[in-house]
Amino acid sequence: MTVSAELVKQLRDKTNAGFMDCKKALAETKGDLDKAVDILRKRGVAVAAKKSSRTAKDGLVQSYIHMGGKIGVLVEINCETDFVARNESFQQFVKDVAMHVAAANPQYLKPEDVPAEIIEKEKEIMAGQAPDKPAHILEKMLVGKLNKFYAEVCLLEQPFVKDDKMKIKDYLNSVIANIGENILIRRFTRYQLGEEL
């Protein structure tokens, strides 16, 4: 099947993947844009997994100020080389993450970072909301509710504010696949004027 340049461009705009990767994915899916996005995401996860063991010591610290100085964010995102740190796609990713942190206010980077006592407290609250459920049903409910909790408080699990069909971790994996280096969101801090200390 011949894939139009316009369709390839649409897929590139959606995924940030390379031209040839987009063309191959569209050919595989006979021009189905949504299925092509899924294929590219799966490939991005596989590529990211291969690169995750490599050391990322270069990168950028980015600031973002929002609402006339009422919200400020600092993020540190690492990559393997200074060449990539100067890459436009990497820099855009860093800016997008900083803006996302300002908008979505994550508390932690990933689920493993959430303290055990907070998870236990959430489980207690969730169990109290359905006290009459059998244990095996309650356990399934808790897993679902915990995943929802992580999507609210963990940066990597949050839906990206610019495209809520993609989580931040999916965006990260697509950038890793596109650039070809390990990229790591190391840390972030968000300040809001007048918030309780």
Q: What is the pLDDT along the chain (197 residues), one digit of tens a residue?
A: 677 878 888 877 776 666 777 888 888 888 888 888 787 777 765 555 555 556 677 899 999 998 788 999 999 999 988 898 999 999 999 999 999 999 999 999 999 999 999 988 888 887 777 777 777 787 888 888 899 999 999 999 999 999 988 999 999 988 988 888 889 999 999 999 887 66
What letter does residue 132 receive in the DSSP assignment? Answer: T
Tokens representing 158?
A: 């949050």
pLDDT for the residue 35: 85
The helix (run of H) or strand (run of E) holding residue 24 is helix 19-28
pLDDT for the residue 52: 55
Fold of 5-51: Helicase, Ruva Protein; domain 3 (1.10.8)
Instruction: Identify the three-state secondary structure at position 193.
Output: coil
Predicted model pTM = 0.70
At residue 168's C-alpha, the angle toward residues 12 and 146, to 5°, is 140
pLDDT for the residue 57: 77
Q: Span 58-109+154-192: which CATH code? A: 3.30.479.20
Give the chain's radius of gyration (CA, Å).
Answer: 19
What letter does residue 108 receive in the DSSP assignment? Answer: B
Tokens representing 166?
A: 């993609």
At residue 60's C-alpha, the angle toward residues 54 and 61, to 5°, is 125
What letter does residue 133 receive in the DSSP assignment? Answer: S
Sequence spans of domains, the chain: 5-51, 58-109+154-192, 115-152
Question: What is 52-74 written as a DSSP string?
Answer: TTS---EEEEEEEEETTTTEEEE
Residue appearing with tokens 């790591």: 184
Residue appearing with tokens 């994996």: 173
